[in-house]
Amino acid sequence: MVRIEVDHVGHRYGQGPLARQVLDDVSTELTESRIGVIGHNGSGKSTFVRMLNALLIPSQGAVRVNGLDTASAAAKVRKLAGFLFTDPDTQIIMPTVAEDVAFGLRKSGLSKQEIAARVDEMLDRFGLAGHRDHPAHLLSGGQKQLLALASVLITSPQLIIMDEPTTLLDLRNARMIGRVISELSQTVVLATHHLYLLDDFDRVLVFDSGRLVADAPPPEALAYYRELMEA
How far is Cα 49 from Cα 101, in angstroms, rounded to an integer? 23
pLDDT at 231: 79
pLDDT in tens, 29-53: 999 999 999 999 999 999 999 999 9
pLDDT in tens, 170-215: 888 888 889 999 999 999 999 999 999 999 999 999 999 999 999 9
Handedness of CA 127, 131, 133, 135 (dihedral sign): negative
Based on the structure, what is the number of domains in the chain? 1
* Mean pLDDT in residue range 8-37: 92
Closest CA to 56 of 22, 29, 31, 30: 22
Domain region containing 12: 4-230
Closest CA to 24 of 41, 54, 47, 5: 47
Single-letter amino acid code for the residue at 102: A
Is residue 16 scored above 80 in pLDDT? no
CATH number at residue 58: 3.40.50.300
How far is Cα 144 from Cα 127, in angstroms, rounded to an integer? 12
Q: Strands 60-65, 4-13: parallel, antiparallel or unpaired by DSSP?
A: antiparallel
